[in-house]
């Protein structure tokens, strides 16, 4: 239970720390949100609202028995109206959304001409609410495309009385004309007409008007891409059309005109088929009428010239008998041919070949013999597959097959002889019938042919007359294919831009931009920024203090009675160091504090001086020793000491007196400087000299605190040589400068014993990253800063 509570508490603390990383930059969030919301508001004001326009139609089924379609459906008997049947509803939707239909709609409404109004920074399309109308007399599409590409197809118009002036919005070229007169604008010849009864619908008229001529293909592509057509229900032919646009009345006209063009095309297609059918019927009627008249005249003349009576019944009897005999002769002829074919096959075939069976030969005996013969052949072939021709069974079967073959041949010859006799008898009987038919005048047969032609022509003539009347009815009744359920109407409120969504998006973007910048900066940052970074990377080494970042305009040195954040941070650092020196503060000698860092530029000298000033202001006797013999920085704070002798001179010359090298500073009477002196060629060898220990022993007798400003310990070994004399090592880390990876160096140095009693001093900390001070403030007892001053500090 305790473990779960501890984990929960750690997660809560981590979450709070993560949130705190962003809360300290609240001015950035405030400014970003404000700017994003303002931009979103401006976008809403400048953007054109988009409205949704809808219309609903029903596609009529061509199979319904309406007066217009019932007549046309009967033409399918002729096979010429198969293409008029209703296609699937998906095809109709595709036709409505086609480029051809949209092109007809755009051309009908002249939507390639856009009428514009200019109001301050906003250009709006006024559609049918312009004080003039434009008629295009002649247009060059190729030139228009080039002008549109260079945005030279837009013109502002101004007028005074009947005189008008056109100004090209892109080039500024002017053209003058009068209302009603042709005007050449480069890519077209136009006429501008004044609208006499014009009245602006807005409260205040726009400052200027103008127009733009756009290529028809571009307008068609725009509206075609925005047109929506879908079935309301899968089981119906109800189609809902939708179109988005900034001008509601224009979108309504487009949808209404699209339905009109769709119905026009359907009616034209229907009438085209009917017209072609009517032409075909009229031509056929003329031909049939001429042929029918000719046949009737021939029939009348034929009967009058030969005084014919009704001999139809007798003729029919003779003809029927002749037909029966003819049929029998054909059957006998077929039997003779089959018998001859079988005999030929027997003569050419071998014992292993099967005879054709079930050919239709009359006579069961012959068919049975053929069947028996085939059975013997099949048995022989089956045995022969596993044996040879010398097998006694095969030899016996060959003999039987040969005998049966001879029997079949004789039977077929006998059958053919009988059939020849039957054929002769039938021929004789046919001659008798033929002689009887010959007794009927041959003219009767000609008469029947004439009568038959008359009936055919008459039936076809009546059929075409009926279809011509039906076709005339279909032309008279032309109902539209698409029935309008709802005319085009526009939803009241715009569908885009959505103000709530845009404002919310602006708010979120305003929050996300600084969040992303801060998050990215934290992710990519490889340098120590605050106390938390230092504690996480080097838990083994305590932190005695944080030094805030000082503005260039502020003093970098602490003065007496100083109440600044810098002074308070050093006081806190000294207080924290007292706990680390608790076992050493009771000794009679002074305390030696070594100040070092990893690399150059982390603020060792700055920390040493201000630490010494803070102790001196507390009444302590303090000396700052310039122990960096390679790159001395202490002289920066005392210009006169640059040419003085110092530590290096003392270590080299044993005749020098240490007291003569110490200089009292101008900053505080309790603070002295011992500069590094001349730069030696061998700093490391000098620092190993015994006089270094003697020098420090002398100083600790005279001073309460000896602060050693040393060289960066990662670059040279000088600091490690001095650290053995120090009571406390202050390791300076500079925020936003020292890389996190370099923190491993003081840890390893401490483990190896090269440095002892090490404590961190975090220098140059941004106020936004300041540890406890940022949360609770170092300004206790000081003048309270205004909101604007705090805001500027954040930036």
pLDDT of 327-363, one tens digit each?
777 777 877 777 777 777 777 766 666 777 666 676 6
- Give the per-residue pLDDT at 72: 44
Supply 591's token pair. 């305390």
- Would the pLDDT of 671 be above 80? yes
Mean pLDDT across 718-730: 92
> 197 in helix, strand or coil?
coil
The region of weakest confidence among 174-183, 270-279, 509-518, 670-679 is 270-279
Q: Are strands 482-490 and 671-674 parallel, antiparallel or unpaired?
A: unpaired
Can you tell me which residue has the tokens 């480029």? 99
Q: How confident is the model at residue 132 (pLDDT cuts 50, 70, 90)?
A: very high
Neighbours of 624 (CB within 10 A): 28
- Would the pLDDT of 403 be above 70? yes
- Give the per-residue pLDDT at 599: 93
Q: How confident is the model at residue 312 (pLDDT cuts 50, 70, 90)?
A: low
Q: Are strands 482-490 and 51-59 parallel, antiparallel or unpaired?
A: antiparallel
In 349-442, which residue ranges form alpha helices assigned H by DSSP?
A: 364-384, 392-439
Per-residue pLDDT tens over the stretch 646-656: 899 999 988 89
Q: Is the pTM of this model over 0.75?
A: no
- Would the pLDDT of 773 be above 50? no
Q: What percent of the chain has pLDDT over 70?
A: 82
Q: Are 26 and 454 in contact (CB under 8 A)?
A: no
Q: How confident is the model at residue 44 (pLDDT cuts 50, 70, 90)?
A: confident
Q: How confident is the model at residue 74 (pLDDT cuts 50, 70, 90)?
A: very low
User: Which residues, 6 or more positions from 375, have their beta carbon under 8 angstroms from its beta carbon?
Assistant: none
Q: How confident is the model at residue 771 (pLDDT cuts 50, 70, 90)?
A: low
Q: How confident is the model at residue 787 (pLDDT cuts 50, 70, 90)?
A: low
Separation of alpha carbons 378 and 372, rounded Å:
10
DSSP assignment of 447-510: HHHHHHHHHHHHHHHHHHHHHHHHHHHHHH----SEEEEEEEEE-SS-SBS-HHHHHHHHHHHH
Mean pLDDT across 10-22: 67
Separation of alpha carbons 606 and 569, rounded Å:
13
The region of weakest confidence among 56-65, 286-295, 415-424, 642-651 is 56-65
Supply 13's token pair. 């603390």
Q: Are strands 622-626 and 705-709 parallel, antiparallel or unpaired?
A: parallel
Find which of 109-123, 578-592, 758-772 is predicted with most confidence, using mean pLDDT.
Answer: 109-123
Top pLDDT among 203 and 520 is at 520
Mean pLDDT across 307-328: 65
- Give the per-residue pLDDT at 82: 44
- Give the per-residue pLDDT at 791: 52
Supply 184's token pair. 């050449």
**Adjacency order of strands within the sheet including 208-213:** 122-125, 113-119, 208-213, 154-160, 163-168, 174-178
- Would the pLDDT of 762 be above 70? yes
- Give the per-residue pLDDT at 703: 94
- Would the pLDDT of 253 be above 80? yes
**Adjacency order of strands within the sheet including 728-734:** 543-548, 758-765, 728-734, 591-597, 705-709, 622-626, 671-674, 663-664
Q: Are 221 and 42 in contact (CB under 8 A)?
A: no
Q: What percent of the chain has pLDDT over 90?
A: 34
Per-residue pLDDT tens over the stretch 505-540: 999 999 999 999 988 887 888 898 888 889 888 889
- Would the pLDDT of 686 be above 80? yes
Per-residue pLDDT tens over the stretch 416-475: 778 788 788 877 777 776 665 665 556 666 767 777 787 887 888 788 888 878 777 766
- Would the pLDDT of 10 be above 90? no
CA atoms within 13 A on the CB side of 429: 16
User: Which residues, 6 or more positions from 119, have their beta carbon under 8 angstroms from its beta carbon?
Assistant: 206, 207
| E-only strand ranges, 235-305 | 238-245
Q: How confident is the model at residue 563 (pLDDT cuts 50, 70, 90)?
A: confident
Supply 40's token pair. 């979103």
Per-residue pLDDT tens over the stretch 613-635: 999 999 999 999 999 999 888 87
Separation of alpha carbons 444 and 315, rounded Å:
8
- Give the per-residue pLDDT at 121: 73
User: Which residues, 6 or more positions from 194, have their beta carbon under 8 angstroms from its beta carbon?
Assistant: 131, 132, 159, 162, 179, 180
The region of weakest confidence among 23-27, 415-419, 440-444, 688-692 is 440-444
- Would the pLDDT of 479 be above 90? no
- Give the per-residue pLDDT at 521: 82
Q: How confident is the model at residue 81 (pLDDT cuts 50, 70, 90)?
A: very low
Q: Are 629 and 648 in contact (CB under 8 A)?
A: yes
DSSP assignment of 10-50: HHHHHHHHHHHHHHTTHHHHHHHHHHHHHHHHHHHHHSPPB
Q: How confident is the model at residue 181 (pLDDT cuts 50, 70, 90)?
A: very high
Top pLDDT among 529 and 85 is at 529
Mean of pLDDT over the chain: 81
In the 8-state DSSP scheme, what is residue 437?
A: H
- Give the per-residue pLDDT at 34: 93
Q: How confident is the model at residue 239 (pLDDT cuts 50, 70, 90)?
A: very high
Residue 54 sits at φ, ψ, to 5 deg, of -125, 155
- What is the helix (H) or strand (E) element at residue 625, kind and residue range? strand 622-626
- Give the per-residue pLDDT at 746: 94
- Give the per-residue pLDDT at 9: 46
Q: Are 482 and 59 in contact (CB under 8 A)?
A: yes
Can you tell me which residue has the tokens 């009245």? 199
Separation of alpha carbons 763 and 32, rounded Å:
30
Q: Are 734 and 602 in contact (CB under 8 A)?
A: yes
Separation of alpha carbons 333 and 422, rounded Å:
10
Separation of alpha carbons 432 and 61, rounded Å:
67
- What is the helix (H) or strand (E) element at residue 578, kind and residue range? helix 565-580
């Amino acid at each position: 239970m305790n473990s779960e509570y501890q984990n929960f508490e750690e997660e809560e603390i981590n979450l709070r720390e993560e949130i705190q990383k962003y809360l300290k930059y609240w001015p950035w969030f405030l400014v970003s949100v404000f700017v994003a919301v303002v931009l979103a508001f401006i976008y809403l004001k400048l953007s054109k609202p988009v409205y949704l326009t809808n219309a609903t139609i029903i596609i009529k089924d061509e199979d319904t028995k309406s007066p217009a379609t019932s007549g046309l459906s009967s033409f399918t008997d002729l096979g010429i109206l198969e293409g008029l049947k209703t296609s699937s509803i998906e095809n109709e939707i595709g036709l409505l959304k086609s480029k051809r239909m949209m092109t007809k709609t755009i051309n009908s409404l002249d939507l390639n001409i856009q009428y514009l109004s200019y109001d301050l920074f906003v250009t709006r399309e006024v559609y049918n609410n312009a004080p003039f109308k434009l008629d295009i007399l002649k247009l060059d599409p190729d030139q228009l495309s080039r002008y549109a590409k260079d945005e030279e197809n837009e013109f502002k118009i101004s007028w005074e009385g009947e005189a008008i002036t056109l100004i090209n919005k892109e080039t500024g070229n002017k053209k003058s004309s009068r209302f009603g007169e042709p005007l050449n604008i480069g890519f077209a010849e136009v006429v501008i007409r004044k609208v006499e009864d014009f009245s602006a619908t807005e409260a205040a008229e726009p400052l200027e008007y103008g127009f733009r001529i756009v290529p028809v293909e571009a307008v068609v592509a725009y509206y075609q891409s925005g047109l929506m057509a879908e079935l309301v229900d899968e089981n119906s032919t109800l189609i809902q059309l939708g179109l988005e646009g900034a001008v509601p009345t224009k979108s309504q006209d487009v949808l209404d005109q699209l339905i009109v063009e769709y119905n026009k095309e359907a009616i034209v297609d229907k009438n085209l088929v009917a017209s072609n059918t009517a032409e075909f019927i009229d031509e056929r009627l003329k031909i049939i009428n001429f042929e029918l008249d000719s046949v009737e005249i021939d029939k009348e003349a034929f009967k009058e010239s030969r005084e014919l009576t009704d001999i139809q019944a007798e003729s029919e009897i003779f003809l029927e008998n002749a037909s029966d005999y003819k049929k029998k002769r054909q059957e006998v002829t077929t039997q003779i041919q089959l018998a001859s074919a079988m005999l030929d096959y027997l003569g050419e075939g071998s014992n292993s070949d099967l005879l054709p069976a079930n050919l239709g030969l009359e006579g069961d005996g012959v068919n049975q013999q053929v069947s028996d013969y085939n059975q013997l052949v099949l048995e022989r072939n089956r045995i022969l597959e596993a044996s040879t021709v010398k097998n006694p069974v095969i030899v016996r079967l060959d003999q039987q097959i040969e005998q049966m073959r001879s029997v079949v041949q004789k039977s077929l010859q006998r059958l053919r002889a009988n059939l020849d006799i039957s054929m002769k008898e039938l021929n004789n009987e046919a001659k008798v019938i033929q002689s009887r038919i010959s007794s009927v005048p041959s003219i009767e047969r000609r008469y029947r042919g004439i009568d038959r032609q008359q009936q055919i022509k008459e039936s076809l003539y009546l059929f075409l007359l009926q279809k011509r009347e039906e076709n005339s009815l279909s032309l008279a009744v032309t109902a539209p294919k698409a029935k309008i359920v709802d005319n085009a109407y526009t939803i009241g409120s715009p569908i885009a831009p959505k103000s709530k969504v845009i404002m919310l998006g602006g708010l979120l973007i305003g929050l996300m931009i600084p969040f992303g910048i801060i998050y990215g900066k934290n992710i990519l940052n490889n340098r120590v920024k605050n106390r938390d970074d230092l504690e996480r990377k080097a838990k083994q080494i305590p932190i005695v203090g944080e030094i805030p970042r000082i503005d260039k305009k502020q003093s970098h040195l602490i003065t007496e009675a100083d109440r600044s954040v810098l002074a308070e941070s050093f006081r806190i650092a000294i207080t924290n160091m007292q706990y680390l020196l608790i076992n050493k503060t009771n000794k009679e000698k002074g305390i030696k504090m070594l100040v070092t860092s990893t690399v150059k530029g982390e603020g060792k000298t700055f920390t040493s001086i201000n630490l010494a000033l803070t102790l001196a202001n507390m009444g302590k006797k303090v000396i700052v020793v310039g122990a960096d013999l390679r790159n001395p920085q202490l002289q920066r704070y005392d210009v006169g000491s640059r040419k003085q002798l110092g530590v290096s001179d003392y270590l080299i010359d044993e005749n020098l007196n240490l007291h003569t090298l110490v200089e009292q500073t101008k900053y505080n009477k309790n603070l002295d400087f011992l500069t590094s002196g001349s730069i030696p060629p061998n700093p490391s060898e000098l620092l190993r000299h015994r006089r270094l220990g003697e020098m420090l022993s002398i100083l600790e007798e005279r001073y309460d605190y000896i602060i050693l400003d040393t060289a960066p310990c990662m670059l040279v070994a000088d600091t490690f040589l001095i650290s053995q004399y120090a009571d406390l090592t202050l390791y300076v880390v500079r925020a936003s400068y020292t890389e996190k990876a370099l923190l491993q160096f003081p840890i390893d140095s401490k483990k190896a014993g090269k440095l002892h009693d090490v404590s961190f001093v975090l220098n140059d900390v941004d106020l936004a990253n300041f540890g406890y001070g940022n949360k609770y403030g170092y300004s206790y007892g000081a003048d309270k800063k205004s909101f604007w001053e705090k805001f500027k500090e954040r930036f």
